[in-house]
């Protein structure tokens, strides 16, 4: 049954008597007609959903255009209505909003093929056009989560993961904390129903043991404020189950050891009374050190203002207290949406509401130049989840940074040029290392020097996405030519290993598939080990890579196999022709070969019936046996290139290269090379050990690489190539 339009209009008239009731009614009728004959999974008429979305937004006191968009948000996507029809009936503003919601719905944010970084980028692009598109989409998701039980279990899990990963954090970042908490809890109910039920059971038991602790603490606070003549509203509540669960996981605490599971809001008439209230609370109850935050003097970027403190209340229980004015409370409830809020028929003039255009541009401008989508995601997540510290420049300017930020983050927050030239820092006038963590209220001064360039070690020191991205860019530029040359050699070897050539056209195709600007960018990242050669080859020849990896060695390569047995090398010891080998049989007629001295063979000492005496077939073998080498080399210009050239001169192909550690004076890396036999390996080792800049070299032996005793397919073996 579709509710009558008056149910929505009564809500709207309560905060906006001047609402265009006629246009809302027309949108209501248009939506019913457009969705005629369509039903939800629950069997209800489909239009009950757009109506419920509009009600959610009306409860946030939003403008008529947003409410009408909610009523029509599925018409362009799911019905015969078009953008032109909506424009003709309701105007271009509403048509653009409806079209924006439709495009956002079609992004397929939970698609396995779409990286999460791409999803966030698309969301920010949609937000930059009109933030109300996101408000409608968030309300749409909230109602869908409230009614999710009507969906198939697999769809419930998919939508809940998407909600937890994308929409709940986004709602929190926009300042709509109530919506974030409800979305998280609804998703938690689907993804971990047993965990949520456990929290609820324990919570009910706690309430029975302590009676109504919220009511008693509220009464205590009201009495203390009344004594000092402060008029305020006190709202007490228990934290949501997911919030409690997350705290238990993060702090590795049992439920019984959690302290601050109750929260209280004190809403006053003025800012001055906020600070008076804080004094009253701290006089009556003991404040918990390190749990005080003043977001009134240092507001969050979405306009949020409040004083946070945690005190030890009745029976020693910790309670969190938030103190704010009514105007601050409106922004705390609505976040960025407060910009469109109405009260008494006019747009609310809330001095704390953030201009949405400035908010979105401030959020996205630092990511626009970032070509690496994964780095973009890293930066976005830092912005969404990080708590903040506030520090000062020598001139007294306030700089906001995520908790755990270092002077490097501070330098890059001021300007990329300052960050690149940073050689040292002072905190509160004392010289400190660049990895020092900045605390609230500290003064930071950056020392720069001409000719300084970013160091690779800075990546471990920086916390913010902006700083990390700037360091990566600078490092790529400094070593770009060297990495391009090295990347070309790695690409040549990888493609030749499959009988293909790394032509300019092939590299351009791979760059396009990997969403990189051009072939040089691809080679630079390949040479710096930011991407692996297998990804490059797979981008162009996915089927060839797959077929190649599944090929098996002809039985003539070894002696000792029966006609129906096939053979694989153990990844644990990577045996080569010329080395003594033993075969271990598995169900399905598979045999895995190990070097005679492999530690993994100890696991089969009590199963002699599974051992096979194997020998390599004599003759020349092609260079197709991967062996992993670990090298420590000097961090000087040209060293890495010389090492790769030596490997090439030894007629060994590099199939993969990975940096394990980067320090100012050395690199530690792991290289997979394709070799013919043990003699080929010894020849290559001698060649590399003779190089002055190779400080250490060893063959990687990993006893844990072969694991299960139930067939080669469970052993994470790699098949020998021919």
Q: What is the pLDDT of residue 225?
A: 92
Interacting residues of 680 by C-beta distance below 8 A, sequence separation 6+? 576, 623, 650, 651, 652
Q: What is the CA radius of gyration of the chain?
A: 32
Kindly state the tokens that stand for 524.
């630079």
Domains 5-191 and 200-343 share a fold: no
Structural contact between residues 247 and 199, judged by C-beta atoms closer than 8 angstroms = no
Cα(490)–Cα(654) distance, integer angstroms: 6
Cα(81)–Cα(99) distance, integer angstroms: 11
Cα(545)–Cα(540) distance, integer angstroms: 9
677-720 pLDDT, tens per residue? 888 888 888 888 888 888 889 998 876 664 433 344 333 333 33
26, 44, 77, 220: which one is catalytic? 77
Taking phi over 0 as left and psi of -120 to 50 as alpha, with beta for the rest, 428 belongs to: left
Alpha carbon 39 to chain centroid, angstroms: 35
The domain spans of the chain are 5-191, 200-343, 360-476, 479-549
- Whole-model pTM? 0.52
Q: What is the pLDDT of residue 604?
A: 84
Query: Which H helix or E strand runs over 335?
Result: none
Nearest one of 544, 596, 588 to 570, comparing CA atoms: 596
Segment 389-401 shows an average pLDDT of 78
Query: Which H helix or E strand runs over 722?
Result: none
Beta strands in 304-421 (DSSP E): 307-312, 318-325, 342-343, 346-347, 388-392, 398-402
Under CATH, to which class is 360-476 assigned? alpha beta
Cα(250)–Cα(1) distance, integer angstroms: 44
6, 26, 74, 78: which one is catalytic? 78
Which CATH fold would you assign to the domain 200-343? Beta Polymerase; domain 2 (3.30.460)
Query: Which H helix or E strand runs over 7?
Result: helix 5-15
* Active site (annotated) includes residue 547: no
Interacting residues of 177 by C-beta distance below 8 A, sequence separation 6+? 171, 332, 333, 335
Cα(252)–Cα(660) distance, integer angstroms: 30
Look at residue 47 and tell me whether its pLDDT is greater than 80: yes
181-233 pLDDT, tens per residue? 899 999 988 988 887 887 777 777 766 666 677 888 888 899 999 999 999 99
Q: What is the pLDDT of residue 111?
A: 47
Mean pLDDT over each residue of the chain, to the nearest integer: 79
Least trusted range by pLDDT, from 159-173, 354-368, 373-387, 465-479: 373-387
407-465 pLDDT, tens per residue? 999 999 888 899 999 999 999 888 988 889 988 778 899 999 988 888 878 888 888 87
Cα(342)–Cα(382) distance, integer angstroms: 33
* Active site (annotated) includes residue 77: yes
Residues in the chain: 722
Q: What is the pLDDT of residue 411?
A: 93
Architecture of the domain spanning 5-191: Orthogonal Bundle (1.10)
Cα–Cα separations (whole angstroms), residue 574 to 560, 581, 599, 721: 19, 10, 12, 13
Cα(327)–Cα(348) distance, integer angstroms: 10
Look at residue 385 and tell me whether its pLDDT is greater than 50: no
Look at residue 358 and tell me whether its pLDDT is greater than 50: yes
């Amino acid at each position: 049954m579709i509710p009558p339009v008056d149910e929505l209009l009564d809500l709207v008239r309560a905060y906006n008597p001047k609402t265009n009731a006629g246009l809302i009614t027309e949108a209501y009728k248009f939506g019913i007609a457009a969705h005629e004959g369509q039903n939800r999974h629950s069997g209800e008429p489909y239009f009950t959903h757009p109506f419920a979305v509009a009600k959610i937004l009306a409860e946030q006191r939003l403008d008529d255009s947003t409410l009408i968009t909610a009523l029509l948000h599925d018409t362009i996507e799911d019905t015969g209505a078009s953008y032109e029809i909506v424009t003709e009936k309701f105007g271009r503003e509403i048509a653009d909003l409806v079209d924006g919601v439709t495009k956002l719905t079609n992004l397929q944010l939970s698609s396995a093929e779409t990286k999460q970084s791409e999803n966030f980028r698309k969301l920010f692009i949609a937000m930059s056009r009109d933030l109300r598109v996101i408000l409608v989409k968030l309300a749409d998701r909230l109602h869908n989560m409230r009614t999710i039980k009507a969906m198939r279990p697999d769809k419930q899990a998919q939508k809940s993961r998407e909600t937890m990963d994308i929409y709940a954090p986004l709602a929190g970042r926009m300042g709509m904390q109530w919506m974030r908490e409800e979305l998280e809890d609804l998703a938690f109910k689907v993804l971990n129903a047993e965990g949520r039920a456990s929290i609820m059971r324990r919570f009910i038991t706690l309430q029975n043991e302590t009676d109504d602790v919220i009511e008693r603490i509220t009464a205590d606070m009201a009495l203390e404020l009344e004594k000092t003549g402060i008029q305020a509203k006190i709202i007490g509540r228990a934290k949501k189950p997911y919030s409690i669960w997350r705290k238990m996981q993060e702090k590795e605490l049992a439920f019984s050891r959690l302290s601050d599971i109750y929260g209280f809001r004190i809403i006053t008439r003025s800012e001055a009374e906020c600070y008076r209230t804080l004094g009253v609370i701290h006089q009556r109850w003991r404040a918990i050190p390190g749990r005080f935050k003043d977001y009134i003097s240092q507001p969050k970027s979405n306009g949020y203002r409040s004083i946070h403190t945690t005190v030890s209340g009745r029976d020693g229980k910790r309670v969190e207290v938030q103190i704010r004015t009514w105007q601050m409370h409106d922004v705390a409830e609505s976040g960025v949406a407060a910009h469109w809020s109405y009260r008494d028929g006019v747009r609310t003039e809330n001095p704390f509401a953030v201009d949405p255009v400035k908010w979105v541009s401030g959020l996205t401008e630092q990511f626009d130049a970032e070509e690496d989508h994964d780095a973009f995601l890293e930066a976005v997540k830092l912005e969404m989840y990080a708590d903040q510290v506030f520090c000062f420049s020598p001139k007294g300017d306030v700089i906001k940074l995520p908790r755990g930020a270092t002077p490097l983050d501070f330098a890059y927050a001021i300007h990329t040029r300052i960050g690149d030239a940073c050689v040292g820092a002072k905190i509160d006038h004392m010289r400190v290392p660049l990895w020092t963590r900045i605390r609230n209220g500290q003064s930071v001064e950056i020392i720069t020097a001409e000719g300084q360039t970013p160091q690779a070690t800075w990546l471990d020191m920086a916390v913010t996405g902006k700083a990390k991205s700037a360091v990566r860019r600078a490092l790529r530029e400094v070593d770009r030519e060297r990495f391009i040359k090295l990347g070309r050699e790695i690409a040549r070897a990888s493609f030749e290993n499959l009988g293909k050539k790394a032509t300019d056209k092939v590299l351009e195709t791979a760059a396009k598939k990997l969403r990189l600007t051009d072939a040089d960018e691809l080679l630079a990242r390949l040479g710096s080990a930011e991407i692996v050669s297998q990804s490059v080859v797979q981008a162009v020849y996915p089927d060839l890579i797959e077929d190649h990896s599944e090929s098996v060695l002809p039985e003539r390569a070894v002696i000792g196999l029966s006609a129906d047995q096939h053979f694989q090398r153990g990844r644990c010891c990577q045996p080569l022709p010329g080395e003594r080998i033993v075969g271990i049989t598995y169900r399905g007629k598979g045999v895995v070969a190990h070097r005679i001295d492999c530690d993994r063979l100890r696991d089969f000492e009590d199963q002699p019936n599974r051992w096979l005496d194997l020998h390599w077939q004599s003759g020349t073998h092609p260079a197709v046996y991967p062996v992993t080498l670990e090298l420590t080399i000097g961090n000087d210009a040209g060293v890495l290139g010389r090492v790769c050239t030596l490997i090439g001169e030894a007629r060994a192909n590099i199939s993969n290269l990975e940096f394990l550690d980067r320090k100012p004076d050395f690199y530690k890396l792991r290289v997979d090379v394709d070799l013919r036999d043990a003699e080929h390996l010894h020849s290559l080792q001698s060649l590399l050990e003779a190089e002055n800049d190779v400080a250490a070299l060893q063959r990687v032996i990993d006893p844990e690489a072969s694991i299960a005793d139930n067939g080669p397919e469970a052993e994470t073996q790699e098949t020998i190539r021919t």
